[in-house]
Structure 1
Amino acid sequence: MEEPVDSGSEPILREVGMVRIMMALAGLLIVGAGVAQTPLPLPAEAPITVPNYSDPATWICRPGVDDGTCSANLDAVAIDAQGHRTPVTYAPAKAPKIDCFYIYPTASMDPGTFSDMNPGPEEKRAVHGQFARLGSVCRLFAPIYHQFTIPALRRALAGQAKADSLPFDVPYRDVLAAWRHYLAHDNQGRGVILLGHSQGAILLKRLIAEEIDGKPAQKKLVAAYLAGNPDLTASSFHAIPTCKVIGQTGCIVAWSDYRDGDDNRRAFGAGKPGDPALCVNPASPGGGRAPIKAFLPRPGMAPESDPPYIELIGQLSAECVSDAAGAVLRVRIEPGVYADLLTTALNHAGMPGWGLHPLDMSLPQGNIVDMAAAQSAAWKGR
C-alpha cells in the first residue's frame, strides 16, 4: 500500500521530512555527542571482576532473557526516492537455525573508565537500534560488559590517546567470558554470526583472532560483521576470508562509512603500509556500488500512530573505495525528492575525521539483515 506524494503538499512534506530525518539522525549520535563535550574528571573506581555469565542478569538479551530491548516494536515505514510510503512489518524468526552474538559500541554514560553491569537507556538504544532487527534471522545474544565509557573516551581524546593505547583489556576479558559461556552452554553445534560496532568491533576482532581464526570454533562461524573498527586490515585474520557473495558463509564483512567527497579521514579505514584496510560492502560484497537500505528511528515529534522506524529505499547507495588514504565505504545520496534533505542531514551527522561513524550499522542495516538471512539459508543447506 503506497501513499503517493501529492504535488500540492510537497513543500510541507519536504519540511516535515527534513525535521524527521534530522531528529532521527541526531538520536543516533551517541558517540558524537559524547566526545564533543568537556572531559569529566575521573572518579574513584572499585576493582572490576569478571561477570558470571550464567546469571541471566548479565545479558541484555538472550533466549528467555529480554526486558523488551530486543523484542520491542521494530515496524517501519519504507520511504522511496519519490516519497512513497509503504508499511514494513517486522516479524521475528519462529525457529531460527543460527545464533547472533553482538557486542554493542561505546555508549555508556557512566562516569568511570568502565561501565557498571546495569545498562542505561543509551546502551539499550544501541542494542535495539543496531541488533534487535537480526531477530528475524537468528537467536539473539547480547552480553552486558564493563565497556570503556563515553566520559572515559572524552578524557582519552582530550589527551590525544590513540585507539590502540586505550585500556580494552577489561572489556575484552568480559566479552571473552561471555563468548566461552555461550559456546559451552548455548551453542550446541549451531552456526553463529558475530556482530560488533566501534568498541564492539575492536573487541570482536581480538576475539576472532584469538579464539576462532584457525581454531575449532571457526567451524561454527556463519559470518562476522565488524563496523567502524579503526585497525582492521587484510592481515587481521589468517584462515577467515572476506565475504565475496551474499550467501557465502564463514567470512568477514567490515566497513567504515564516509560520505562521498569526505576526505577528512583520520580515524577509520587507513590501514597500514603494505597492509590495506578491510572494506566489504554489506550491499555488494563482491564490489561495486549498490543501494543501501537504512533504518533510522522515528523522531519524537512524529505521531504515535507511525511505526518506530523509517527505512530509506533507493535514496542512498554505497561502494567500497580504495585510494591512497585507505579503504572506506563511500555513501552517496541518490537523486530524489529528499536528496537535499539527506545532504543536510548527513552533513550534520558526520564527525570531522570520523565520517559517518555513528551511523555505520544503521545506514546498511537492511542489507545486513538480507545478507545474514542468505547466509543462514546457506548454512542450513549444509
Structure 2
Amino acid sequence: MRLTIALALWASLLAPASAQGPANGRAMPPRGDIFPVNYSIPENWICRPGVDDGTCSTNLDAIAVDAKGERTPAPFVAAADPKIDCFYVYPTTSNDPTLYSDLKPDAAERRAVHGQAARLREKCRLFVPVYHSFTMTALRWSMAHPGDDKAIDFDVPYADIVAAWRSYLAHDNKGRGVVLIGHSQGAILLKRLIAEKIDGKPVQKLLVAAYLAGNRDLSAKSFKAIPPCAAADQTGCLIAWSSYRDGQPGERFFGGTNAGEPPLCVNPAALAGGSGLAKPYLSKPALSAPSDPPYVEPLGQMSAQCVTDDKGAVLRIHIEPNGKFAGLLAYALNQLALPGGWGLHALDISLVQGNIVDLLGAQSAAWVKAHP
C-alpha cells in the first residue's frame, strides 16, 4: 500500500500543467488583449543574458540514480562562456482564462521554461521570449469542439515569435551559432519560422540545429535545405520526435503521416538509428528527503528508439527490465500517458534532456570549428 501511494505521488508530481485533460465549455473564451510586442524591452523575455527572475537559474541540481539504486550528486553548472545561443519557445501551458495568454508568465509557463529549457544553459546562452501563446483554456475548448477552427489562429503567437527572432538577430546574435528548440505549440511555431524565414536563406548559416518535439506534421520533406540529423557532429540539421511507451496500444495523436509524406522521427539518443540509452531529468518523487535536489536523473534505466509502423513513426520509450526502479518508472510513465492518443507528450523533452545537452556540446564544437 505504501509503495502504491509513493508511485501515485511521484506520477502526479511529474505531470506538468500541460498534462491536465481537456475540459468542456459552452462559450468560446475571449481572445484577450493582443498587441504587437516590442522585444527590445527586457521585460518581454523570460530569460536572456542579463534578464532572469530565477526561472532559468533556480536550482537545477539532480541526483543521478543507477539501475542498482546507487545515488550520486549531479550538480548543475552553467557554462561560463558558451559559444552558441539557444532560442527556445515554450509549449501550450498558460492557465490564463483567454484564448491567448497575456505577457505576464504564470507559474505553469515558468515551470515549463525551468523544466525544459533552463538546463540548456550548460551549453548555450538562453533566449526565451514571452508571447501571446494559445492557452490551456483555448486547448480545452477546441478539443471539446472538434471541427470549429475559429479558436485556433496561430498567426497571433507566430507574429510574436517572428518579432522576437528578428530582435534577437538584430541586437544579440552578432554572427553566433544558434539552436532553435521548441515543444508542442513551440515546435509548431518554430517549424513555420524555419520554413518562412530560415530555410534556404542566408541566415541558415547560423543554424546549429533545430529540436522540434511533439509536432504532429513534420516529415523529412518539411524543409528544402535542412536535413534530419544523422550524427552528433552534424550541424544545420533537424531533430524531431514524439514520445510513446513501447507497446502502448490505441490511437496516436502524434507521429502520423502528413499529406502522404512519412512522418519524421529522429532519436536524440541515437541519431544514426536504432536504440540508445535515454538520459531523462525527472522531478524528484514527492516522498524524497527535503534535502534532495529537485531533479532525478535515472541512469541506464530507459532506452529510446524511433519505430515506424502502419500508423506512422514515433519515439518509443522502453523501461530497462533489470533496474531496481523499473516498476516505479513504468507505473509513473503509464500514469502520465495522456488520453486521446497523446502518449508521453508532456515528457517529450524531459525523457531525453540529457541526450539533448550532450548533443548540444558536440554540435556547438562542430559549428564553432566550421565558423571560426
What TM-score, normalized by structure 1, do the two folds share?
0.92
Map residues 328-367 of structure 1 onto 2, 5 A cutoff: 328-335=314-321, 336-352=323-339, 353-367=341-355
Asked whether 1:377 is paired with 2:356, we answer no
- Structure 1 residue 380, shift from structure 2 partner: 1.8
AA aligned to 2:94 is: S
Separation in structure 2 between the aligned mates of residue 161 and residue 220 of structure 1, nearest angstrom: 39
Separation in structure 2 between the aligned mates of residue 162 and residue 216 of structure 1, nearest angstrom: 39
CA contact (8 A) 2:217 2:257 kept: yes
- Structure 1 residue 75, shift from structure 2 partner: 0.4
Separation in structure 2 between the aligned mates of residue 17 and residue 188 of structure 1, nearest angstrom: 50
Partner of 1:18: 7
AA aligned to 2:328 is: L
Alpha carbons of structure 1 residues 92 and 17: separation in structure 2 relative to 1, 3 Å: farther
Asked whether 1:242 is paired with 2:231, we answer no
Asked whether 1:293 is paired with 2:279, we answer yes
AA aligned to 2:69 is: G
Partner of 1:3: none
Partner of 2:83: 97
- Structure 1 residue 17, shift from structure 2 partner: 6.4
Separation in structure 2 between the aligned mates of residue 321 and residue 38 of structure 1, nearest angstrom: 34
CA contact (8 A) 1:222 1:249 kept: yes
The correspondence for 2:268, drawn from 282, 286, 299, is: 282
CA contact (8 A) 2:101 2:133 kept: yes
Separation in structure 2 between the aligned mates of residue 219 and residue 19 of structure 1, nearest angstrom: 47
- Structure 1 residue 304, shift from structure 2 partner: 2.4
Separation in structure 1 between the aligned mates of residue 303 and residue 247 of structure 2, nearest angstrom: 14
Partner of 1:4: none
Which sections of structure 1, spanning at least 5 residues, go unmatched? 1-10
Separation in structure 2 between the aligned mates of residue 111 and residue 40 of structure 1, nearest angstrom: 14
Separation in structure 2 between the aligned mates of residue 277 and residue 45 of structure 1, nearest angstrom: 33
Partner of 1:88: 74
Map residues 120-139 of structure 1 onto 2, 5 A cutoff: 120-139=106-125
Cα deviation, 1:325-368, whole Å, max 9, x if unaligned, reads: 11100111101111111221111100130110000010001001
Alpha carbons of structure 1 residues 44 and 241: separation in structure 2 relative to 1, 3 Å: closer
Separation in structure 2 between the aligned mates of residue 157 and residue 193 of structure 1, nearest angstrom: 32
Map residues 1-382 of structure 1 onto 2, 5 A cutoff: 18=7, 21-26=10-15, 28=16, 30-33=17-20, 35-39=21-25, 41-45=27-31, 47-161=33-147, 166-272=152-258, 274-335=260-321, 336-352=323-339, 353-382=341-370
CA contact (8 A) 2:22 2:143 kept: no
AA aligned to 1:279 is: C
CA contact (8 A) 1:265 1:355 kept: no
- Structure 1 residue 41, shift from structure 2 partner: 4.2
Separation in structure 1 between the aligned mates of residue 135 and residue 32 of structure 2, nearest angstrom: 15
Alpha carbons of structure 1 residues 72 and 323: separation in structure 2 relative to 1, 3 Å: same
Separation in structure 2 between the aligned mates of residue 139 and residue 244 of structure 1, nearest angstrom: 25
- Give the number of aligned pairs: 368
Separation in structure 2 between the aligned mates of residue 169 and residue 153 of structure 1, nearest angstrom: 16
AA aligned to 1:63 is: P
CA contact (8 A) 1:100 1:195 kept: yes
Which sections of structure 2, spanning at least 5 residues, go unmatched? none
Secondary structure in 1 matching 2:180: strand
AA aligned to 1:351 is: L
Separation in structure 2 between the aligned mates of residue 375 and residue 252 of structure 1, nearest angstrom: 12
What TM-score, normalized by structure 2, do the two folds share?
0.94
CA contact (8 A) 1:20 1:298 kept: no
CA contact (8 A) 2:32 2:99 kept: no
- Structure 1 residue 274, shift from structure 2 partner: 3.8
Alpha carbons of structure 1 residues 256 and 38: separation in structure 2 relative to 1, 3 Å: same
CA contact (8 A) 1:40 1:151 kept: no
Alpha carbons of structure 1 residues 322 and 46: separation in structure 2 relative to 1, 3 Å: closer
AA aligned to 1:350 is: A
Alpha carbons of structure 1 residues 42 and 164: separation in structure 2 relative to 1, 3 Å: closer
Separation in structure 1 between the aligned mates of residue 190 and residue 68 of structure 2, nearest angstrom: 39
CA contact (8 A) 2:138 2:151 kept: no
- Structure 1 residue 20, shift from structure 2 partner: 5.9
Partner of 1:8: none
CA contact (8 A) 2:22 2:144 kept: no
Cα deviation, 1:243-285, whole Å, max 9, x if unaligned, reads: 0011211100000001111242331000235411110000101
AA aligned to 2:337 is: G
Separation in structure 2 between the aligned mates of residue 269 and residue 276 of structure 1, nearest angstrom: 9
CA contact (8 A) 1:289 1:318 kept: yes
